[in-house]
Amino acid sequence: MRFKRKKEIVLYKERNSEEIFEEKIAGAYWLRWLYSNPIGKLSLETMAKRKFMSDLFGKLMKGKKSKKKIRPFIKNFNIPVDEIDGEIEDFKTFNDFFIRKLKKSARQINDDEKVVISPGDGRLLVYPNISTYQNFRVKGFKYTFKDFLRNSEWYDQFKDGSMAILRLCPTDYHRFHFPVEGIPSPVKRMKGDYYSVSPLALRKKMEIFCRNKREFTEINSKYFGKVLMVDVGATFIGSIIQTYTPNINFQKGAEKGYFEFGGSSVVVIFEKDVVEFDKDLIKNTNQGYETLMKLGESIGKLK
């Protein structure tokens, strides 16, 4: 039986204009099949969420033949090539292009030391007070903060704090950066699955954020105290690569790492009464919209 396409749209707000746009999702047909069709769901649980599938897909995206996918991808998703640090022909594989660096002039880092910046390009939700939520909702999907952390010490420390969730689409710039200045700890890795973090998937499978692979870093910051940064893997993420050196001071906006091919998320968590998120981001989140962000833009300030 042919899988019938069901139109499910994902809406987000453009920050400056406040216009609402429909997201163009890479691989939307297959995401709907995996998370809505009975055979697709079986394939998801037995194969697609497994690390070996992400590893296999990652190898394909690193193969020489994958280079031919670059220009169609740029055309289909209107990737701004003028921002890319380098020439398109210099990328040997699709993964080389996927983990591309940007020209320094492509992103403006807010240099106010008491401002928190977006750690990357993507779609953002903010939660000013974690304790006011029994569950968090990410485009219709619930998960508990305690299940997400799986660490009683962190839970006690951050349960009354604030949290921002940045979702990176496959079409986005896929390097992530420090949202505040500070000294980062060595990464703590938590094994898990590789479900998609697309809203099309989150609407169907609620516990995804608590089951996916996650990498935790504590940042000791002069102004913001201890900040917890969580890098979350997803379907067909070949690897989460950390490029920073632990235990030395990094400036806000410095690169922390990158995701190889696939969608993914970065979560930034603050202690109680430290951060005041920007009002437009709170408004959009309360209305159920993610806000389109660029690396370096303000998401909040010191209280």
How many other CB atoms sit within 10 Å of the CB of residue 51? 14
Catalytic status, residue 131: no
The residues, ordered by sequence, that sit 6+ positions from 208 with a Cβ below 8 Å of its Cβ are 141, 143, 195, 196, 197, 201, 202
Phi and psi at 252, nearest 5°, equal -60, 135
Indicate which residue of 118, 121, 221, 278 is catalytic: 121
C-alpha 188/C-alpha 183 separation (Å) is 15
Indicate which residue of 36, 66, 118, 264 is catalytic: 264
DSSP per residue over 184-251, as a string? EPPPEEE--B----SHHHHTT-TTHHHHB-EEEEEEEETTTEEEEEEEE--TT---EEE-S-TTS-B-
Check: CB of residue 280 under 8 Å from CB of residue 241: no
Catalytic status, residue 264: yes
First-residue to last-residue Cα distance in the chain: 57
Indicate which residue of 66, 118, 162, 177 is catalytic: 177
Distances (CA, A) of 127 to 7, 52, 142, 149: 29, 34, 14, 16
Residues acting as catalytic residues: 121, 177, 264
